[in-house]
């Protein structure tokens, strides 16, 4: 093979790699700047509806717990459950984490956080083991959660009970 041919092949490979890199950068940029796509949003909505039905069936709870997507969460958090005096109970899911594994976010993280939220509905604000009590675990399992282990190192609940006024 002549030198020219080899260098052409080399140039070709370099070019393909560069195009691929630019494509990856673009995908990353697109993910960061755009909202989650409609497919994922529908999946979250369906799962939330199912969780609400399970909460009603198992605990007779009718409280409609909002599930919001946030792009401003700390990167080590997948989701959070928040109880605040003025806004009530809210679940947040970390938008950036949907990039890696959508099923994990929906089948593991969402039920995990939903179980924290139900603890708040039941007025159990125990912070023992960062809210991962035996009771929380039972609720998590009853919600068909796939991530109901009690020994997690993330602090994923915030409780603000005091009336600021
Ligand atoms: Zn948790």
Residues 24 and 102 in one domain: no
Establish if 60 belongs to a structural domain. Answer: yes
Residues 104 and 143 in one domain: yes
Residues 46 and 86 in one domain: yes
Ligand 1 midpoint to CA 147 (Å):
9
Residues 78 and 128 in one domain: yes
The pLDDT score that the predictor gives to residue 151 is 84
Hey, what are 19's tokens? Answer: 């195009």
Establish if 165 belongs to a structural domain. Answer: no
Ligand 1 midpoint to CA 131 (Å):
7
Residues 75 and 120 in one domain: yes
Q: Any idea what the CATH number is for the domain that residue 89 is in? A: 3.30.2010.10
Range of the domain at 7: 1-34
Residues 96 and 146 in one domain: yes
The pLDDT score that the predictor gives to residue 34 is 87
Residues 9 and 69 in one domain: no
Residues 121 and 151 in one domain: yes
Cα–Cα distances (Å) from 155 to 1, 111, 128, in that order, read: 61, 16, 11
Ligand 1 midpoint to CA 112 (Å):
6
> Residue 154: pLDDT above 90?
no
Ligand 1 midpoint to CA 162 (Å):
22
3-state SS assignment for residue 50: helix
**Residue 1: band (very low, low, confident or very high) from pLDDT cuts 50, 70, 90:** low
Ligand 1 midpoint to CA 1 (Å):
62
Residues 156 and 85 in one domain: yes
* Number of domains composing the chain: 2
Ligand 1 midpoint to CA 8 (Å):
55
> Using alpha carbons only, how large is the chain's radius of gyration in Å?
22
Residues 100 and 144 in one domain: yes
Supply the pTM of this predicted model.
Answer: 0.84
Ligand 1 midpoint to CA 154 (Å):
7
């Amino acid at each position: 093979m002549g030198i020219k041919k080899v260098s052409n092949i080399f140039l070709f490979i370099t070019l393909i790699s560069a195009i691929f890199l630019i494509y990856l950068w673009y995908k990353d940029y697109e993910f960061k700047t755009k909202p989650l796509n409609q497919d994922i949003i529908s999946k979250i909505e369906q799962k939330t509806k199912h969780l609400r039905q399970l909460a009603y069936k198992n605990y007779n709870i009718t409280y409609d717990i909002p599930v919001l997507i946030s792009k401003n969460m700390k990167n080590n958090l997948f989701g959070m459950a928040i109880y605040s005096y003025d806004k009530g109970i809210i679940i947040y899911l970390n938008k950036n984490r949907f990039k890696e594994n959508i099923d994990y976010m929906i089948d593991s993280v969402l039920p995990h956080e939903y179980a924290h939220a139900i603890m708040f509905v039941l007025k159990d604000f125990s912070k023992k083991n960062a809210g991962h009590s035996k009771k929380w675990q039972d609720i998590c399992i009853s919600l068909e959660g796939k991530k109901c282990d009690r020994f997690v190192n993330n602090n994923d609940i915030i409780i603000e009970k005091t009336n600021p006024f």
